[in-house]
Amino acid sequence: MRFRTALVTLLLTSVTLIAQPAGAATRATIAYAQLKQTWELVLTNGDVVEVPEALAKAPAGAVNSGARAPFLVSGDGRHFFYFRKSDERFVERTLSSKERVVSRDLTAYSINEEWPLVSDDGSFVITMTSAPGVGVFADLRKGKQLPSPGKTDAWGFSGFSPDGKRLLLQGERVVVFDRGLRARTRLKTRLSPVALANDYVTTAVPVGTYPKYRKLRLLNLRTGRASSTVTVQLPRGQYIDDLDFDRAGHVIVRSRTKTGVAIYRVSKVTGKATLMRRVARPVAAVWVLPGDSAYEPWTEKK
């Protein structure tokens, strides 16, 4: 997950997205998406852009009919992804572009059987599956789908580097792949890193019992050395709900609060958590922040 979109609280006006949105909207990025009567994009300039062509639920005939359909926003707040109603394909677009199909193998039939994940720049999509392994590897920059690396689909996906140039996967070994799915770094370890920094060797590992993580370690994939355990100094009752790096190499933690999400920059040495911002939950059935996966602890209203 990525955390670079600042939220602005302004008077919201409604704009319907049919083909091309209003020109003013293209100068803003997406602050978050929300599901009301239909999916909507709330922009950083305060505008609201409706996306009526996006499915809200898996259709009749899908494996999990009625399940909530994923709607994703890239970490940079510029790309959004959804299953469209017309043909149930998973598509990508920006505020100023037309839809393009991510993969013809990914349709609404597999909602809640495959979970799409998107790189920070919106240019690479993979899917985790209910069976062991990874389903789709789609490089949107080159417009092609790649076969699973290593002639096996028995991979677990752990994350993209912030610049989107590397993918972190785990099988018998932890492996860093480039965008062409060529292995760059391999390490056999018992640790399970969940985030990869832009140096392509530093990873972050949550420590504790899911979902109440409050500690982490850093693991170097080149040397195999792990740091000592660091306790993240979060407020009482908050936990590490999302762990990642920013482009500068800082450890970033998102933590669910009673009113939404708090985002912290964490010291790799002391665990001191510096609050970067709080994001208040909107009045909506579901909301999605840039960089969210198909489900986050704060996704649905409780």
How does strand 47-51 pair with strand 30-35?
Answer: unpaired
**For residue range 16-32, what is the model confidence (pLDDT) as tens digits?**
343 334 444 447 999 99
| Statement: residue 75 has pLDDT above 80 | yes
pTM of this prediction? Answer: 0.89
Q: What pLDDT was estimated at residue 7?
A: 30
In sequence order, the 6+-apart residues with CB closer than 8 A to the CB of 195 are 158, 159, 168, 203, 204, 243, 244, 245
Of residues 300 and 185, the one with the higher pLDDT is 185
Q: What pLDDT was estimated at residue 302?
A: 66
Topology at the third CATH level for domain 13-288: Methylamine Dehydrogenase; Chain H (2.130.10)
Question: d(Cα 299, Cα 302) in Å, to the nearest integer?
Answer: 9
| Statement: residue 257 has pLDDT above 70 | yes
**For residue range 146-166, what is the model confidence (pLDDT) as tens digits?**
998 876 668 999 999 999 999
In sequence order, the 6+-apart residues with CB closer than 8 A to the CB of 159 are 167, 168, 194, 195, 196, 244
What is the layout of strands, in order, in the sheet containing 134-139? 114-118, 124-129, 134-139, 144-146
Residue 11: pLDDT band (50, 70, 90) is: very low
**For residue range 82-94, what is the model confidence (pLDDT) as tens digits?**
999 999 999 999 9
| Statement: residue 46 has pLDDT above 50 | yes
Q: What pLDDT was estimated at residue 154?
A: 80
**For residue range 188-222, what is the model confidence (pLDDT) as tens digits?**
999 999 999 999 999 999 999 999 999 999 999 99
Q: What does the mean pLDDT of the chain come to?
A: 90
